[in-house]
């Protein structure tokens, strides 16, 4: 029982973490809470689905298509919803409102294009293999989701630490104005940030669509709200914090359902969220300096 729940917490946590990474990255670099991140996640799932069903691509190619599609969508999102506000020096809250508008547009576009019903990947997308070790059952899908998520997270961390663009991104996160004085092309870094963040959202969309076998225009809303809990728990803008918090939240939910009650599963995330905000708004890995507006 315990080991099975741990396995469930691990693969679910990897998806939460992957989703939250992009969410928190945009906040870290731009101080924008992008509430359209869930909608990009949903579109990523649909891009992957279309690549598999319409273009007959294998799943790994579909994953790349989904990440590319979602990444480009992220850049468009920035152009339409955030860039005009940056040019006008609008207050931080304006960007939240604008992202809500963008999310509404993306969700209703998907609803118009694909209908409100639930679609799923064809059954032969991945072999329906199940591994058993004692009492623990793991499906191939779960193993792949977990492994590829870890690889993507490691790639992002390496990118942030080692590459020129990643370092520039961290500089912009520290201060946009100083970075531009130092000759960093801030606009390009912002575009990169949106591309990377949205591509990760797209990947997690494909993963959740595969694992739960359910893709719908409304699949973005629940994970977006849970993602809020994750990025707050990890400290807004804190990338390693988001990874840790993603696993923590998944574990809390999975074990809460297994040992306490399943009724309030979705309330766990938000109770955690409110408690963290009240007790330690900078998150578990946050520094002591609070970034309250």
Partner 1 sequence: MLTQFLTDIWLVYRSVFEFALIGSALGLSIYITLRTGLLSLASAGFMSIGAYVGALLTIHLHTPLLVSVLAGALAAGVIGLLLGLPVLRLSGVYLAIATIGFGEVVRVFMLNIDNLAGRTITGGALGLNNIPRKTETWHLVLFVGLLIYLFVRIDRSRTGRAFDAIRQDHHVAASMGINVVQYRNLAFVLSALIAGAAGVFSAHLTYFVSPNEYGFNGAVRILTFAILGGYLIWLGPIVGAFILTFLPELLRFLGPYRPIVNGVVLILAIIYLPRGLVDPTFWRKVWRQRGKPPSPPPLETSSEAAP
170 burial via Cβ count (<10 Å: 0-12, 13-18, 19+): middle
Tell me how far apart the alpha carbons of residues 53 and 138 are, in angstroms, rounded to a whole number: 26
Q: Nearest-CA neighbor of 38 among 197, 235, 239?
A: 197
Secondary structure letter of residue 80 according to DSSP: I
Strand partners, 132: 137
- Please give the span between the terminal C-alpha atoms of the chain, in angstroms, as a whole number: 44
- 71 within 8 A of 198, measured Cβ to Cβ: yes
Q: How far is the CB of 201 from partner 1 (least distance, A)?
A: 18
Q: Are 183 and 163 contacting, i.e. CB atoms less than 8 angstroms apart?
A: no
Nearer of residues 38 and 71 to partner 1, judged by Cβ: 38
Of 196 and 206, nearer to partner 1 (C-beta) is 196
**Distance between CA 201 and CA 293 in Å, rounded?**
26
Q: How many helices (H) and strands (E) does the chain have?
A: 12, 2
Q: Which is nearer to partner 1, 58 or 84 (CB)?
A: 84
Nearest approach, Cβ of 31 to partner 1 (angstroms)?
8
Q: How far is the CB of 173 from partner 1 (least distance, A)?
A: 9
Least separation in angstroms between CB 268 and partner 1: 9
- Residue among 43 and 121 whose Cβ is closer to partner 1: 43
Helix/strand/coil for 151: helix
Q: Give least dist CB 243 to partner 1, A.
A: 19
Which residue's CB is nearer to partner 1, number 22 or number 51? Answer: 22
The least CB distance from residue 229 to partner 1, in Å, is 7
Least distance in angstroms from the C-beta of 96 to partner 1: 6
Cβ distance to partner 1 smaller for residue 153 or 234: 234
Q: Which residue in this structure is represented by tokens 């990025």?
A: 231
Closer of 150 and 191 to partner 1 (Cβ) = 191
The contact set with partner 1 (CB under 8 A) reads 29-30, 33, 80-81, 84-90, 92-94, 96-98, 100-109, 111-112, 115-116, 172, 176-177, 179-180, 186, 190, 221, 225, 228-229, 232, 236, 263-264, 266-267, 269-271, 273-274, 277-278, 281, 292-293
* SS3 assignment, position 285: coil
Cα three-residue angle 231-233-238, rounded to 5 degrees: 50
130 phi and psi angles, rounded to 5 deg: -125, 130
């Amino acid at each position: 029982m315990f080991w099975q729940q741990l396995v469930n917490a691990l693969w679910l946590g990897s998806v939460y973490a992957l989703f939250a990474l992009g969410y928190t990255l945009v906040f870290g670099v731009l101080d924008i809470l992008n509430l359209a991140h869930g909608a990009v996640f949903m579109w990523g799932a649909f891009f992957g689905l279309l690549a598999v069903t319409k273009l007959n691509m294998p799943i790994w190619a579909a994953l790349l298509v989904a990440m590319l599609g979602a990444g480009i969508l992220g850049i468009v999102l920035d152009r339409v919803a955030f860039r005009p506000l940056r040019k006008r020096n609008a207050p931080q809250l304006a960007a939240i409102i604008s992202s809500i508008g963008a999310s509404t547009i993306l969700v209703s576009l998907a609803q118009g294009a694909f209908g409100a019903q639930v679609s799923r990947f064809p059954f032969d997308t991945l072999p329906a293999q199940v591994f058993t070790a004692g009492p623990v059952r793991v499906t191939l899908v779960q193993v792949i989701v977990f492994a590829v998520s870890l690889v993507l997270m490691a790639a992002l961390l390496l990118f942030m630490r080692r590459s020129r663009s990643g370092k520039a991104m961290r500089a912009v996160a520290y201060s946009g104005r100083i970075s531009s004085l130092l000759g960093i092309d801030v606009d390009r870094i912002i575009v990169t940030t949106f591309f990377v963040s949205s591509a990760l959202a797209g990947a997690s969309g494909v993963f959740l669509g595969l694992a739960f076998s359910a893709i719908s225009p409304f699949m973005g809303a629940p994970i977006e709200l849970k993602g809020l809990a994750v990025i707050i728990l990890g400290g807004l803008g804190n990338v390693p914090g988001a990874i840790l918090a993603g696993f923590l939240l998944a574990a809390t939910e999975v074990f809460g359902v297994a040992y306490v009650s399943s009724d309030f599963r979705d309330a766990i995330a938000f109770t955690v969220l409110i408690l963290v905000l009240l007790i330690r708004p900078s998150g578990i890995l946050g520094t002591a300096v609070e970034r309250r507006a």
